[in-house]
Amino acid sequence: MNIWQAIVLGVVEGITEYLPVSSTGHLILAAAAMGLGSPDGAATAAQLKESIDRFTIIIQGGAILAVALLYWPRVRQMLAGVGGMVVPALRGDQARRGRHLLVLLVIAFLPAAVTGVLAGKTIKAYLFGPLPVVGALLVGGVAMVLLAPWHRRRLRGPALPQGGPSHVDPLLALSWRGALLIGLAQCLAMWPGTSRSMVTMIAGMAIGLPPVAAAEFAFLLGLPTLGGASVKELRDALQASGWDGFVASLGGTGPVLAGLAAATVSAAISVKWLVHYLGRSTLELFGWWRIAVAGAFAWAIAMGWIAR
């Protein structure tokens, strides 16, 4: 992998990680289009999976960093909540709110964590490839287009989440049951091409969160979800080849740093734009985008330009 390929994948990851279009699906398809994973440019699903797995460890770190910086007040609030359990000076209303939000994120994170441990290897063996991704992109796109009228009604009417400690902040008014339902929905995104952001945002709106709050919870949920997945993949890679071998397999330090920087900047821009967009528009645009991408790559696969 050279620096320009790393930048392309970093930008793809940053833009698509938090948009409801599937970052993993777009990364697999982009890697296939650039011929990564195979000397002759016709990568198999297994070769694509290995290439994407290793590089995603790095560029997901950029996406995580972008959200942590953009939502630093929330992150700081949760850190205060943890610190308040052992340091009396940190206790107070803000710490209590932060602790409640952290508990909600942990509850929402657990279903995907358990599913990943139980079925992660099977999912990677059978679903990490262009053809399964195209199917997931198409189904998710059709679903968002069909849900557009419902989404428009949600934009017009106030959401009334129940069961939490706050009647002002929608995230703090979310109940543990609502967080669990969002977490269960997130398990669907383990099929590459489905989109973690899509299923968590739709689940959040379905239980009563306003669209912007549902997106914010999806972003924050990405911190433990993406962070945990990246740590596990990095551990496995380091056990297999060590740090030097891991960096060398990605083309050296240059591509690693370029991909990380590209992912961080593009993810920050993507998140800021999406929050503004969801305050006034539905997810239908992303649905049509997914359908178009699925159609284009299905044609490329049928023509033999991209290996199945």
User: pLDDT tens digits, residue range 109-141?
Assistant: 999 989 988 887 788 777 777 788 889 999 999
Residue 49: what pLDDT? 57
Residue 35: what pLDDT? 72
Report, in angstroms and rounded to the nearest whole number, the Rg of the chain calculated over CA atoms: 19
Residue 31: what pLDDT? 78
Q: 78 lies in a domain?
A: yes
Q: 68 lies in a domain?
A: yes
Which residue has better confidence, 51 or 260? Answer: 260
Token code pair at residue 113: 């964590």
Q: 61 lies in a domain?
A: yes
Burial grade of 243 (CB within 10 A; 0-12, 13-18, 19 or more): exposed
Q: 307 lies in a domain?
A: no
Q: How confident is the model at residue 157 (pLDDT cuts 50, 70, 90)?
A: low
Which domain range does residue 270 map to? Answer: 3-302
Number of separate domains in the chain: 1
Q: 24 lies in a domain?
A: yes
Q: Is-contact 287 86, C-beta < 8 A? A: no
Token code pair at residue 214: 């549902």
Q: 308 lies in a domain?
A: no
DSSP string, 199-223: HHHHHHHHTT--HHHHHHHHHHHHH
User: Is the pTM here over 0.75, yes or no?
Assistant: yes
| Token pair 């997810």 in the structure block, residue | 283
Range with lowest mean pLDDT among 24-33, 185-194, 211-220, 223-232: 24-33
Number of Cβ within 10 Å of residue 280's Cβ equals 9
Q: Could you tell me what percent of the chain has a pLDDT over 90?
A: 36
Flag whether pLDDT at 161 surpasses 70: no
pLDDT 10s digits, 220-230: 999 988 888 78
Q: 151 lies in a domain?
A: yes
Q: What is the residue-averaged pLDDT of the chain? A: 83
Residue 29: what pLDDT? 76
Distance CA 77, CA 97 (A): 7
Q: 64 lies in a domain?
A: yes
Q: How confident is the model at residue 164 (pLDDT cuts 50, 70, 90)?
A: very low
